[in-house]
Amino acid sequence: MIDLSELASVGVPTVTVTVRGRAWTVRALTDLETQVIAEAFATPRAPMIKDPTKGSLAAPIADYQDEAFRNRTREWNASVQAARVAVAADLRGGLLGNGWNGGDVQSGKDWLRTAATQLRGLLTDAEFEALAKAVDDAGKAGVTAEPPAG
C-alpha cells in the first residue's frame, strides 16, 4: 500500500540542463498541471471537406493536409511545450510576476499563455528543444515497470 504522505515527501524528479551557461533545473509535471496546460490552449481542428472517394451525399471528412491547419497545429504544439517548460522551470519575472501557483484555473491559463509567448520569444530552437526534452526526461525519471528489489 502507498501512503500519500510518503509519496509527497519524495518530491517529483528533476533534470538539470545548461542553457546559455546557466543551469536550469526543471521538474516533472503533475497530471493536474498537464491537464490545465492542455485546457489553456485549444487544440486546432482540421477543416471539413467532401470525401473525394465517395459520392456527394457522403459525410464530410477532416482535411489534415490543409496548410493553415498544419500551421495552427505547429503553433499549438510549440505553445503547449513552452507552457510545460515554464511551469517545470518555475519561470518568474517580467509579465509573469511571481510565477504560477496552480491555484485559480482561469488566471493559471492566462499565465500559461503569457509564459509560453514570453519563453518562445527569448529562446532559440535548440535551447527550447533541450528544455522541453529535460521536462519529458524528468517525467520519466524514477518510473519503472519492474517491482522494487527486496
Report whether pLDDT(133) > 80: yes
pLDDT digits (tens, 9 = 90+) for 77-88: 999 999 999 989
**Complete DSSP assignment for 41-109:** SPPP-PPEE--TTS-TTSPPEE-TT-HHHHHHHHHHHHHHHHHHHHHHTT--SGGGTT---S-SHHHHH
pLDDT digits (tens, 9 = 90+) for 107-116: 778 888 988 9
| pLDDT (average), residues 30-54 | 89
Range with top average pLDDT, 6-10, 46-50, 88-92: 46-50
Report whether pLDDT(69) > 70: yes
Predicted TM-score (pTM) of the model is 0.81
| pLDDT (average), residues 139-145 | 76
pLDDT computed for residue 97 by the predictor: 61
pLDDT computed for residue 102 by the predictor: 58
Residue 115 burial (CB count, 10 A): 26
